Amino acid sequence: MKKLFPILMALALFVSACQLGGGQAEPTPISLPTAFPTNTPSVNAPVEAGGSAGSERASSVDGMPEVFIADGTFRMGGLDTDAQKDEKPAHSVTIKGFWMDKLEVTNAMYSLCVKAGGCEPPQYFKSDTRDSYFNNPEFNDYPVVYVTWAQADTYCKWTGRRLPTEAEWERAARGDDFRTYPWGDDRPDSSRGNFNYFVGDTTRVGNFPAGASPFGVLDLAGNIAEWVGDYYDSDYYAQGVTVNPSGPGARSQYFNRVVRGGTYQDAFVDVRVANRASVRGSNLGASDIYSDDYLGEVSPKIGFRCASD
Protein backbone atom coordinates (compact mmCIF):
# COMPACT_ATOMS: atom_id res chain seq x y z
CA MET A 1 0.00 0.00 0.00
CA LYS A 2 1.22 3.46 -0.78
CA LYS A 3 2.42 5.43 2.19
CA LEU A 4 0.54 8.49 3.34
CA PHE A 5 1.56 11.64 1.41
CA PRO A 6 3.32 14.26 3.50
CA ILE A 7 0.45 16.51 4.43
CA LEU A 8 1.86 19.75 3.08
CA MET A 9 2.64 18.30 -0.34
CA ALA A 10 -0.77 16.64 -0.59
CA LEU A 11 -2.57 19.78 0.40
CA ALA A 12 -0.58 21.81 -2.11
CA LEU A 13 -1.50 19.40 -4.88
CA PHE A 14 -5.09 19.42 -3.77
CA VAL A 15 -5.31 23.20 -3.66
CA SER A 16 -3.72 23.50 -7.06
CA ALA A 17 -5.98 20.89 -8.69
CA CYS A 18 -9.22 21.97 -7.08
CA GLN A 19 -8.48 25.71 -7.09
CA LEU A 20 -9.28 26.00 -3.42
CA GLY A 21 -8.84 29.54 -2.25
CA GLY A 22 -9.07 31.26 1.06
CA GLY A 23 -12.27 31.96 2.87
CA GLN A 24 -14.85 29.75 4.50
CA ALA A 25 -15.92 26.64 2.61
CA GLU A 26 -19.67 26.14 2.43
CA PRO A 27 -21.52 22.82 2.03
CA THR A 28 -23.31 22.44 -1.29
CA PRO A 29 -26.60 20.52 -1.28
CA ILE A 30 -26.79 17.58 -3.66
CA SER A 31 -29.83 17.45 -5.94
CA LEU A 32 -31.27 13.95 -5.64
CA PRO A 33 -33.83 11.95 -7.56
CA THR A 34 -36.79 10.92 -5.41
CA ALA A 35 -36.07 7.84 -3.33
CA PHE A 36 -38.63 5.06 -3.22
CA PRO A 37 -38.77 3.65 0.34
CA THR A 38 -40.56 0.33 0.22
CA ASN A 39 -42.47 0.45 3.46
CA THR A 40 -43.47 3.11 5.97
CA PRO A 41 -41.24 3.32 9.04
CA SER A 42 -42.91 3.62 12.41
CA VAL A 43 -43.49 7.21 13.51
CA ASN A 44 -44.26 6.80 17.19
CA ALA A 45 -40.77 7.52 18.49
CA PRO A 46 -39.75 11.18 18.81
CA VAL A 47 -36.20 12.32 18.24
CA GLU A 48 -34.51 14.46 20.87
CA ALA A 49 -33.22 16.95 18.32
CA GLY A 50 -36.73 17.73 17.13
CA GLY A 51 -38.18 15.34 14.59
CA SER A 52 -39.76 11.92 14.19
CA ALA A 53 -38.97 8.61 12.55
CA GLY A 54 -38.44 8.98 8.84
CA SER A 55 -37.81 12.73 9.08
CA GLU A 56 -34.78 14.31 7.44
CA ARG A 57 -32.38 17.10 8.23
CA ALA A 58 -29.22 18.45 6.60
CA SER A 59 -25.85 18.83 8.29
CA SER A 60 -24.75 22.45 8.59
CA VAL A 61 -21.12 21.32 8.29
CA ASP A 62 -21.06 19.32 5.05
CA GLY A 63 -24.64 19.52 3.72
CA MET A 64 -25.23 15.80 4.14
CA PRO A 65 -28.94 14.86 4.25
CA GLU A 66 -29.59 12.66 7.27
CA VAL A 67 -32.52 10.33 7.94
CA PHE A 68 -33.86 9.63 11.44
CA ILE A 69 -34.36 5.96 12.28
CA ALA A 70 -36.46 5.43 15.39
CA ASP A 71 -35.95 3.06 18.31
CA GLY A 72 -36.81 -0.45 17.23
CA THR A 73 -36.09 -4.15 17.19
CA PHE A 74 -35.15 -5.93 13.98
CA ARG A 75 -33.80 -9.28 12.85
CA MET A 76 -30.06 -9.07 12.19
CA GLY A 77 -28.00 -11.58 10.22
CA GLY A 78 -28.38 -13.91 7.27
CA LEU A 79 -32.02 -14.85 6.69
CA ASP A 80 -31.81 -16.10 3.10
CA THR A 81 -30.42 -19.17 1.36
CA ASP A 82 -27.14 -17.36 0.61
CA ALA A 83 -26.41 -16.61 4.27
CA GLN A 84 -22.74 -17.01 5.16
CA LYS A 85 -21.26 -18.46 8.34
CA ASP A 86 -20.25 -15.08 9.75
CA GLU A 87 -23.86 -13.86 9.34
CA LYS A 88 -25.16 -16.51 11.74
CA PRO A 89 -26.96 -16.94 13.95
CA ALA A 90 -29.67 -14.52 12.90
CA HIS A 91 -30.87 -12.76 16.04
CA SER A 92 -33.14 -10.00 17.25
CA VAL A 93 -31.41 -6.70 18.04
CA THR A 94 -32.88 -3.63 19.71
CA ILE A 95 -31.44 -0.31 18.58
CA LYS A 96 -31.79 3.16 20.07
CA GLY A 97 -32.96 5.80 17.59
CA PHE A 98 -30.24 7.46 15.51
CA TRP A 99 -29.60 9.58 12.44
CA MET A 100 -28.05 7.95 9.37
CA ASP A 101 -26.46 9.73 6.43
CA LYS A 102 -28.73 9.33 3.43
CA LEU A 103 -25.72 9.17 1.10
CA GLU A 104 -22.11 8.08 1.06
CA VAL A 105 -19.68 10.89 1.91
CA THR A 106 -18.59 12.55 -1.33
CA ASN A 107 -15.32 13.94 -2.62
CA ALA A 108 -16.67 17.48 -2.27
CA MET A 109 -17.77 16.90 1.31
CA TYR A 110 -14.47 15.35 2.30
CA SER A 111 -12.55 18.18 0.63
CA LEU A 112 -14.25 20.64 3.01
CA CYS A 113 -12.54 18.87 5.90
CA VAL A 114 -9.20 18.79 4.07
CA LYS A 115 -9.44 22.51 3.33
CA ALA A 116 -10.31 23.25 6.97
CA GLY A 117 -7.26 21.31 8.15
CA GLY A 118 -9.36 18.71 9.93
CA CYS A 119 -8.63 15.78 7.61
CA GLU A 120 -5.73 14.41 5.62
CA PRO A 121 -6.33 13.84 1.90
CA PRO A 122 -7.14 10.35 0.65
CA GLN A 123 -4.15 8.10 0.14
CA TYR A 124 -4.65 8.36 -3.62
CA PHE A 125 -6.45 10.97 -5.70
CA LYS A 126 -7.53 8.45 -8.37
CA SER A 127 -10.33 5.89 -8.54
CA ASP A 128 -10.19 2.37 -9.94
CA THR A 129 -10.28 3.44 -13.60
CA ARG A 130 -9.80 7.21 -13.43
CA ASP A 131 -6.40 8.83 -12.95
CA SER A 132 -8.03 12.08 -11.77
CA TYR A 133 -10.88 11.67 -9.29
CA PHE A 134 -10.70 13.31 -5.85
CA ASN A 135 -9.10 16.42 -7.36
CA ASN A 136 -11.49 16.55 -10.33
CA PRO A 137 -14.68 18.67 -10.00
CA GLU A 138 -16.42 16.31 -12.42
CA PHE A 139 -16.54 13.80 -9.57
CA ASN A 140 -17.47 16.12 -6.69
CA ASP A 141 -20.70 14.19 -6.01
CA TYR A 142 -19.07 10.77 -6.21
CA PRO A 143 -18.07 8.86 -3.05
CA VAL A 144 -14.66 9.52 -1.60
CA VAL A 145 -12.45 6.40 -1.70
CA TYR A 146 -8.93 5.41 -0.69
CA VAL A 147 -9.53 6.59 2.87
CA THR A 148 -8.30 4.64 5.87
CA TRP A 149 -10.61 3.66 8.72
CA ALA A 150 -9.03 6.39 10.86
CA GLN A 151 -9.60 9.01 8.16
CA ALA A 152 -13.27 8.03 7.95
CA ASP A 153 -13.56 8.18 11.73
CA THR A 154 -11.84 11.58 11.84
CA TYR A 155 -14.11 13.03 9.17
CA CYS A 156 -17.29 11.91 10.93
CA LYS A 157 -16.08 13.42 14.20
CA TRP A 158 -15.17 16.66 12.41
CA THR A 159 -18.79 16.97 11.27
CA GLY A 160 -20.13 16.24 14.75
CA ARG A 161 -21.16 12.73 13.74
CA ARG A 162 -19.53 9.30 14.04
CA LEU A 163 -19.19 6.08 12.11
CA PRO A 164 -22.33 3.92 12.44
CA THR A 165 -22.20 0.63 14.27
CA GLU A 166 -22.63 -2.50 12.21
CA ALA A 167 -26.07 -3.03 13.74
CA GLU A 168 -27.16 0.51 12.92
CA TRP A 169 -25.99 0.07 9.35
CA GLU A 170 -28.02 -3.12 8.92
CA ARG A 171 -31.14 -1.63 10.55
CA ALA A 172 -30.96 1.34 8.17
CA ALA A 173 -30.65 -1.07 5.24
CA ARG A 174 -33.18 -3.71 6.26
CA GLY A 175 -35.85 -1.92 8.26
CA ASP A 176 -38.14 -4.00 10.41
CA ASP A 177 -38.94 -6.93 8.13
CA PHE A 178 -36.91 -9.86 6.80
CA ARG A 179 -35.86 -8.50 3.40
CA THR A 180 -32.70 -9.64 1.68
CA TYR A 181 -31.84 -6.35 -0.05
CA PRO A 182 -32.63 -2.75 0.90
CA TRP A 183 -35.56 -2.67 -1.56
CA GLY A 184 -36.97 -6.13 -0.75
CA ASP A 185 -36.33 -9.68 -1.95
CA ASP A 186 -36.17 -9.16 -5.72
CA ARG A 187 -32.76 -9.93 -7.16
CA PRO A 188 -30.81 -6.74 -7.89
CA ASP A 189 -30.49 -5.35 -11.38
CA SER A 190 -28.92 -2.27 -12.91
CA SER A 191 -31.87 -0.09 -11.82
CA ARG A 192 -31.30 -0.86 -8.12
CA GLY A 193 -27.62 -0.14 -7.66
CA ASN A 194 -24.08 -0.06 -8.97
CA PHE A 195 -22.75 -3.62 -8.71
CA ASN A 196 -21.53 -6.58 -10.80
CA TYR A 197 -19.46 -4.23 -13.03
CA PHE A 198 -22.59 -2.75 -14.61
CA VAL A 199 -20.70 0.57 -14.48
CA GLY A 200 -17.16 -0.56 -13.70
CA ASP A 201 -16.30 2.16 -11.19
CA THR A 202 -18.03 4.46 -8.70
CA THR A 203 -21.15 6.41 -9.66
CA ARG A 204 -22.69 9.63 -8.40
CA VAL A 205 -24.23 9.18 -4.96
CA GLY A 206 -28.01 8.90 -4.78
CA ASN A 207 -28.24 7.75 -8.38
CA PHE A 208 -30.46 4.70 -7.72
CA PRO A 209 -33.70 5.76 -6.00
CA ALA A 210 -35.29 2.38 -6.80
CA GLY A 211 -32.69 0.81 -4.51
CA ALA A 212 -33.64 2.85 -1.44
CA SER A 213 -34.00 1.15 1.93
CA PRO A 214 -37.32 1.16 3.84
CA PHE A 215 -36.25 4.45 5.43
CA GLY A 216 -35.19 6.04 2.14
CA VAL A 217 -31.44 5.64 2.73
CA LEU A 218 -29.58 5.32 -0.58
CA ASP A 219 -26.59 3.39 -1.96
CA LEU A 220 -26.60 0.70 0.71
CA ALA A 221 -26.15 -2.02 -1.92
CA GLY A 222 -23.18 -1.53 -4.21
CA ASN A 223 -21.25 1.53 -5.41
CA ILE A 224 -18.70 1.34 -2.58
CA ALA A 225 -18.41 -0.70 0.57
CA GLU A 226 -18.51 1.38 3.75
CA TRP A 227 -16.39 1.41 6.89
CA VAL A 228 -18.37 1.05 10.12
CA GLY A 229 -17.17 1.50 13.66
CA ASP A 230 -16.99 -2.16 14.73
CA TYR A 231 -14.01 -4.45 14.89
CA TYR A 232 -14.64 -7.67 12.96
CA ASP A 233 -15.15 -11.07 14.58
CA SER A 234 -16.65 -13.83 12.46
CA ASP A 235 -18.29 -15.35 15.56
CA TYR A 236 -19.50 -12.14 17.18
CA TYR A 237 -23.19 -12.85 16.58
CA ALA A 238 -22.91 -16.01 18.70
CA GLN A 239 -22.09 -13.84 21.74
CA GLY A 240 -25.74 -12.88 21.92
CA VAL A 241 -25.43 -9.10 22.33
CA THR A 242 -28.98 -7.95 21.56
CA VAL A 243 -29.17 -4.31 22.71
CA ASN A 244 -27.19 -1.60 20.90
CA PRO A 245 -24.28 -3.92 19.99
CA SER A 246 -21.05 -2.10 19.21
CA GLY A 247 -18.92 -5.07 18.17
CA PRO A 248 -16.05 -6.88 19.88
CA GLY A 249 -13.02 -5.17 21.32
CA ALA A 250 -9.68 -5.10 19.52
CA ARG A 251 -7.46 -8.11 19.90
CA SER A 252 -3.68 -7.96 20.05
CA GLN A 253 -2.26 -7.29 16.58
CA TYR A 254 -5.72 -7.68 15.07
CA PHE A 255 -7.35 -4.50 13.87
CA ASN A 256 -9.70 -5.72 11.18
CA ARG A 257 -12.86 -3.62 10.87
CA VAL A 258 -16.22 -4.44 9.37
CA VAL A 259 -17.13 -2.98 6.00
CA ARG A 260 -20.69 -3.18 4.71
CA GLY A 261 -22.71 -2.75 1.55
CA GLY A 262 -20.80 -4.41 -1.27
CA THR A 263 -19.14 -2.63 -4.20
CA TYR A 264 -19.47 -1.83 -7.87
CA GLN A 265 -17.72 -5.10 -8.73
CA ASP A 266 -19.63 -7.48 -6.43
CA ALA A 267 -22.21 -10.07 -7.43
CA PHE A 268 -25.71 -10.10 -5.93
CA VAL A 269 -24.70 -12.32 -3.00
CA ASP A 270 -22.36 -9.61 -1.69
CA VAL A 271 -24.82 -6.72 -1.84
CA ARG A 272 -27.32 -8.41 0.51
CA VAL A 273 -28.01 -6.39 3.65
CA ALA A 274 -26.58 -9.15 5.88
CA ASN A 275 -23.27 -9.45 4.07
CA ARG A 276 -20.19 -8.73 6.19
CA ALA A 277 -16.62 -8.14 5.08
CA SER A 278 -13.39 -7.73 7.01
CA VAL A 279 -10.68 -5.20 6.10
CA ARG A 280 -7.59 -4.23 8.04
CA GLY A 281 -8.31 -1.01 9.88
CA SER A 282 -6.00 1.60 11.34
CA ASN A 283 -3.86 0.85 14.38
CA LEU A 284 -3.44 4.23 16.03
CA GLY A 285 -1.08 2.72 18.58
CA ALA A 286 1.58 1.92 15.99
CA SER A 287 4.75 3.96 16.45
CA ASP A 288 5.21 4.96 12.79
CA ILE A 289 2.26 7.04 11.58
CA TYR A 290 3.29 6.46 7.95
CA SER A 291 3.46 2.70 8.28
CA ASP A 292 1.00 0.18 6.92
CA ASP A 293 0.39 -0.96 10.50
CA TYR A 294 -0.78 2.51 11.50
CA LEU A 295 -2.78 3.26 8.37
CA GLY A 296 -4.37 -0.09 7.62
CA GLU A 297 -5.72 -0.88 4.16
CA VAL A 298 -7.31 1.46 1.64
CA SER A 299 -9.19 0.61 -1.53
CA PRO A 300 -10.87 2.25 -4.53
CA LYS A 301 -13.92 0.23 -3.47
CA ILE A 302 -14.21 1.46 0.15
CA GLY A 303 -15.59 4.74 1.48
CA PHE A 304 -18.02 5.52 4.30
CA ARG A 305 -21.06 7.33 5.63
CA CYS A 306 -21.66 8.72 9.12
CA ALA A 307 -24.34 8.47 11.79
CA SER A 308 -25.22 10.36 14.96
CA ASP A 309 -27.25 9.89 18.12
Cα dist. 265→106, 149, 195 in Å?
19, 21, 5
Q: Write the secondary structure of 226-283 as one string of H (helix), E (strand) and C (coil).
A: EEEEEECCCCHHHHCCCECCCCCCCECCECEEEEECCCCCCCHHHHCCCCCEEEECCC
Asked whether the beta carbons of 141 and 285 are under 8 A apart, the reply is no
The pTM of this model reads 0.87
pLDDT at 31: 74
Peptide bond into 143 cis (omega under 30): no
- Environment class of 89 (CB within 10 Å of its CB; exposed 0-12, middle 13-18, buried 19+): exposed
Separation CA 228–CA 215 (nearest Å):
19
Separation CA 299–CA 309 (nearest Å):
28
Separation CA 79–CA 91 (nearest Å):
10
Beta bridge partners of 243: 94
Tens digit of pLDDT for each residue in 85-144? 999 999 999 999 999 999 999 999 999 999 999 999 999 999 999 999 999 999 999 999
Which phi and psi (to 5°) does residue 101 adopt? -60, 135
Q: Which residues contact 179 (CB under 8 A, 6 or more apart)?
A: 38, 185, 214, 273
Q: What is the pLDDT along the chain (309 residues), one digit of tens a residue?
A: 444 444 434 444 444 444 443 445 677 778 776 666 554 443 333 334 445 666 999 999 999 999 999 999 999 999 999 999 999 999 999 999 999 999 999 999 999 999 999 999 999 999 999 999 999 999 999 999 999 999 999 999 999 999 999 999 999 999 999 999 999 999 999 999 999 999 999 999 999 999 999 999 999 999 999 999 999 999 999 999 999 999 998 876 689 999 999 999 999 999 999 999 999 999 999 999 999 999 999 999 999 999 999
Tens digit of pLDDT for each residue in 207-237? 999 999 999 999 999 999 999 999 999 999 9
Would you list the DSSP string of 73-140? EEEES--STT--GGG-S-EEEEE--EEEESSPPBHHHHHHHHHHTSSPPPS-S--SS-SS-TT-GGGT
Asked whether the beta carbons of 184 and 36 are under 8 A apart, the reply is no
* b/e per residue 209-243 (b: at least 16 CB within 10 A): bebbbbbbbbbbbbbbbbbbbbbbbeebbeeeeee
Beta bridge partners of 278: 258
205: nearest Cα among 38, 63, 3: 63
CA angle, residues 100, 69, 242, in degrees to nearest 5: 100
Largest CA distance in the chain: 55
Q: Just give the CATH number of 7-308.
A: 3.90.1580.10
